[in-house]
Amino acid sequence: MNEIVQALDRLFERHRIIFWYDAKRELRAEYEAVNLPGVEKVVLGNNALGLKYRMLRQEPGQKFLLYRDGPQPDDLDNWLLDVQLAQGEFHADQTGLWLHELGLGAEFTDVVAGHADFFKSAARRQALKALLKPDDTHNQIRMKMTAVCAGAEPRLDDILENLLAELAKDRAEKIRLIERCDLTPFLWKRVEMAFGYRSPTPGIRDFAITLFKSAYAAGLGETADRANDDLAHSALTSDAVVFLKRWKDSVRYRDDFATLSAECAGILNIEQDLEERDYRQLVDLDVFEVIDRKILSGLARDVVNRTIGSDTCTRLIYQRRQTAWY
């Protein structure tokens, strides 16, 4: 708002009458908020002839700010064209104002114009401005915009953790805001680059399922070579598994992890898959709680059948002490 007032002040230093054409009809609120001492504000409509007489004959010393909610009329239909040519014109568009407010140069016009819904919120603009640095690139700014939408730090892992937490609570405000701000393609491209996640219909739920599926298969040492196995490795990178482990071990997100783990275990039919596996190969795997039940069941059976030594049993239990479900 200050930028508009300052620009108008400079124009009124040179001209008595200023025309403001709001071609995209997006700055009416800004016009209404303008308050310049000694300047008469008039909205242009079907009042051109009367206004012309008033400005040139009745009040020749008065300053006028003439606002039209729409584009400039064609020259043949513009009864004030001669006045406009002799006076001044204020040029402003919403994208330019947002760039100026954020201290960004014209080279970032595509970032602002391409995500207009993000910038319509003053709170989001202020949050983004606090994160900006002079050497930010286009994609660094988009990452920070995505972080603002997700209520996260401007890091991909923190953004995803916040979105997964929202998913666990069966809510979708943050991911919907990211979608509304046209940041979804950017987000999933970043996830693809970082974790190898690809999907014809990427989404936070699909990502969660793929993440658990990949971590489970990786923990079993299985690969995509098992073509007929629905639980074959999903081709996520090792960094994706590291991300899941950090998320699982986070005190802040522990409950959210447990909720989504249980949900994904059902979707992936993990319990059925475990029926065919020896519990000993699962000792280092703690992606799903049902794995602990499988191990406990196997240990109990072997103890009853006296097919496992006490030292081996103690060692296996000790190994499980560091798991999420112990």
Residue 315 pLDDT level (bands cut at 50, 70, 90): confident
Q: What is the pLDDT of residue 183?
A: 98
The model carries a pTM of 0.76
* Whole-number Å distance between alpha carbons of 262 and 180: 30
* Amino acid identity at 227: A
Q: What is the pLDDT of residue 226?
A: 45
Q: pLDDT tens digits for 170-192?
A: 999 999 999 999 999 999 999 99
Percent of the chain topping pLDDT 70: 94
Residue 210 pLDDT level (bands cut at 50, 70, 90): very high
Whether 290 shows a pLDDT value over 50: the answer reads yes
CA 187 to chain centre: 7
Residue 325 pLDDT level (bands cut at 50, 70, 90): low
Q: pLDDT tens digits for 83-117?
A: 999 998 887 788 888 887 888 887 899 999 999 99
Average pLDDT of every residue of the chain: 89
Q: What is the pLDDT of residue 233?
A: 43
Q: Calculate mean pLDDT across residues 46-52.
A: 94
Min mean pLDDT across 38-42, 240-244, 290-294, 303-307 is at 303-307
* Amino acid identity at 287: V
Neighbours of 42 (CB within 10 A): 15
Q: What is the pLDDT of residue 1?
A: 54
Q: pLDDT tens digits for 215-237?
A: 998 888 875 334 335 544 456 89
Q: pLDDT tens digits for 117-168?
A: 999 999 999 999 999 999 999 999 999 999 999 999 999 999 999 999 999 9
Q: Calculate mean pLDDT across residues 28-47.
A: 94
Whether 194 shows a pLDDT value over 50: the answer reads yes
* Higher-scoring residue by pLDDT: 132, 276: 132
Q: What is the pLDDT of residue 305?
A: 76
Residue 3 structure tokens: 């930028």
Q: What is the pLDDT of residue 225?
A: 39
